[in-house]
Structure 1
Amino acid sequence: MTTRIPTLDIRRFDTERDAFVAELGAAYREWGFAGIRHHGIPQALIDSAYAAFRAFFALPDAVKRSYHVPGGGGARGYTPFGVETAKGSSHYDLKEFWHVGRELAADSRYRAVMADNLWPAEVPGFKEHALALYRALDDLGSRVLSALALHIGLPQDWFADKTDAGNSILRPIHYPPITADDIPNVRAGAHEDINLITLLVGASAEGLQVLSRKGEWVPFTADADTIVVNIGDMLQRLTNHVYPSTTHRVVNPPGASARAPRYSVPFFLHPNPDFLIDVLPSCISADSPSRYPEPITAQGYLEERLREIKLI
């Protein structure tokens, strides 16, 4: 095992495909995490989106709460501070967040399970900047999935028609300043992600830690031009744990650093709601029998997990 989570140059997918696929696949088999640099998303796009998100979180609490959808499970709009709780934890996370979903065509068959987006009227440009970042991360995620498909013997485009209308989520997060010492809550409790893969814009701030196979918490503070991409539970299940969904958390910084806010923007890439998560035959062997003999739809699995983390 390496002692450091690898960061790879995704341009090599075009110039050294076989070597890049092998290295990326090995990184995910060991860590479930990797950094992706030279990803092609302009820094100006990221900065503009972050500015809009900060402007929203700076609004009065009553204004933010007007965009909360009771009973919506946080699927769209605003989720207040003190709601989401990591699975198995008795303490809520120290964060508030907003959810941007896919913009659906009027005749989409997924309208019954994917709500329309909400947009804060108080922040000019929020919609445009959020959707631009959403599309850029969706495209980058598709490239990563293409490489992962090749690594396990699937066609490069295997995921394309299974994620083209996925219930993917862009989640701007605000972790407010921590004003009390010795509290039991952390910014994000130890958890695994629900989806196929997560792309994180903003891991350049300290706090993200990844649980190694040895049981050690390994800090992962990426370079500013690096997007962190990790495996989610849906892909772990689909690949029979060939790609592990690794436990991670966001810890509270020490001392005066805790008094500063933290922002991050993960993009949770999901399959289409009716995609059947059924273990791939190529990931089953005599030494590794199927861990999940019963398939489940992506939407069914999502709802099951949202109940566990107290969003529905």
Structure 2
Amino acid sequence: MNDIPLIDISGAKVKGSREEQEVARQLDQACREIGFFTLHGHGIPRSVFEDAFTGLHTFFKRPLADKLPCRLGGGGTLAADPYTPYGYSGLLEENAFAHMGLLGKPSDYVEKFSAGRLILSDETPLPFTDDDPGRDLRRKLKVYYRACEQLAARVTELFTLSLGLPRDYFAVRIDRSNDSMRGHYYPGFSGELANDQGMGEHCDSTLISLLTHTAPGIEVKTRDGKWITPQFREVDHFIVNIGDLMAHWTKNAYVSTPHRVVLHPEPRYSIAFFKLTNEDEMVQFGNKQMDALLQRDRPGVSP
């Protein structure tokens, strides 16, 4: 395997159609075999992506003195939304290896700007710069966040078709989730940096993650331990991956796959949307029909 599957979901517009069933089959196969796929045909206007990346580019290119006030005074979260991180973090301030419980590993060469569901409320104070570029970025990220919410809902609905579950099985379990979104800036690699680690090897703890980017950089670890670089296609093509929550929910039939970011000579921007479950939801297996389907002799199905 040299690339992750490319899946066009435009044929799934009509619910109950053969085309929808075929898209669901392709998604199911990708989730079982590698847990990653590139998705297009989603119907989100390209301008939504271009606007979001333009706003992030403007923010990350500002002087550090302008970005530092975008930190939260009490840490990375807000009391009203205790899970989701918000605001700015700088180069080498975060460590994906530590997220996986691996201490003593290098930190990541990435700047981040994070937001969560509170971005949907225009009245809620959030750590954006108090000027026209800051207000513009907030507006653009709000539009992007809402589009990702809707796409995540549709993708998880398509999962139910192959898993033999009611269409609303995931919908009623993710409609109040504390999702988060992060814009990233990765500098171009040069001899001034200690290594080319944009983000260390890790798995996501999500249900699913939706990623868009402006250049190659993400690498995916296949089952045989080989690192592959998904082909960069367009700014409005999502790289979607299964997280630990969905892997657990499906008894590891859908696989949560290690991935990392390697710096290239050119700088790279990306936006990751992390879809979670409702906080009061117990992540457990669906029903006997689902359990039977998960035991099918397919690649990626754990006994």
Equivalent position of 1:205 in the other structure: 215
1:116 is displaced (CA, Å) by: 6.1
Q: Which amino acid is 1:98 matched to?
A: F
For residues 207 and 228 of structure 2, what CA distance do their matches in structure 1 show? 22
Confirm or deny that 1:81 pairs with 2:91: yes
Please give the per-residue CA displacement for 1:155-183, whole angstroms capped at 9, x wherever unaligned: 11111122112111121101123332672
Matched residue, 2:299 = none
Query: Structure 1 164/62 Cα, relative in aligned 2: closer, same or farther at 3 Å?
Result: same
Paired with 2:191 and 2:272, the residues of 1 have a C-alpha distance of 27
CA contact (8 A) 1:195 1:269 kept: yes
Q: In structure 2, how many angstroms separate the alpha carbons of the residues matched to 1:219 and 1:63?
A: 34
**In structure 2, how many angstroms separate the alpha carbons of the residues matched to 1:22 and 1:105?**
33
Question: Which residue of 151, 157, 175 corresponds with 2:162?
Answer: 151
Change (3 A) 1:104 1:136: closer
Which of 99, 102, 113 is equivalent to 2:114?
A: 99
**Residue 273 (structure 1) aligns with:** 279
Whole-angstrom distance in 2 between the partners of 1:9 and 1:105: 28
**Structural mapping, 1:1-312, within 5 Å:** 3-15=2-14, 16-73=19-76, 75-86=85-96, 87=100, 88=102, 90-103=105-118, 117-122=126-131, 123=133, 124-180=135-191, 183-184=194-195, 186-202=197-213, 205-224=215-234, 225-253=236-264, 257=265, 260-282=266-288, 284=291
In structure 1, what residue type is equivalent to 2:280? D
Q: For residues 79 and 279 of structure 1, do their structure 2 counterparts lie closer, same or farther at Cα, with a shift above 3 Å needed?
A: farther
Cα deviation, 1:50-73, whole Å, max 9, x if unaligned, reads 111111111221221111125533
Supply the distance in 2 between the matched residues of 1:168 and 1:59 (Cα, whole angstroms): 27
Runs of at least 4 residues off by over 4 Å: 281-285
Q: CA deviation at 1:26?
A: 0.4
Q: Helix, strand or coil: the match of 2:273?
A: strand
Letter of the structure 2 residue corresponding to residue 46 of structure 1: F
Distance 1:116 1:280, change over 3 A: farther
Report the AA paired with residue 182 of structure 2: R
Deviations 1:122-153 (A, max 9, x none): 41411111000000111011111001122211
Question: CA–CA distance in 2 between the matches of 1:172 and 1:252?
Answer: 16
CA contact (8 A) 2:48 2:144 kept: yes
Q: Alignment partner of 2:66: what SS? A: helix
Kept after mapping to 2: 8 A contact 1:6/1:27: yes
Query: Which amino acid in the other structure matches residue 12 of structure 1?
Result: G
Q: Percent identity?
A: 31
CA contact 1:39–1:227 (8 Å) conserved in 2:
no
**Alignment correspondent of 2:81:** none
Structure 1 contact 7–36 (Cα < 8 Å) conserved = yes
Q: CA deviation at 1:91?
A: 0.5
* In 1, Cα distance between equivalents of 2:125 and 2:283: 25
Distance 2:61 2:218 in 1: 23
Q: C-alpha separation between the residues in 2 aligned to 1:117 and 1:165?
A: 20
Unaligned runs of 5+ in 1: 107-114, 289-312
The answer to whether the 8 A contact 1:80-1:97 is kept is yes
Q: Does the 8 Å CA contact 1:222/1:228 hold for their aligned counterparts?
A: no
Whole-Å separation in 1 of the counterparts to 2:145 and 2:257:
24
* Aligned counterparts of 2:106 and 2:196: Cα–Cα separation in 1: 6
Question: What is the SS of the residue equivalent to 2:271?
Answer: strand
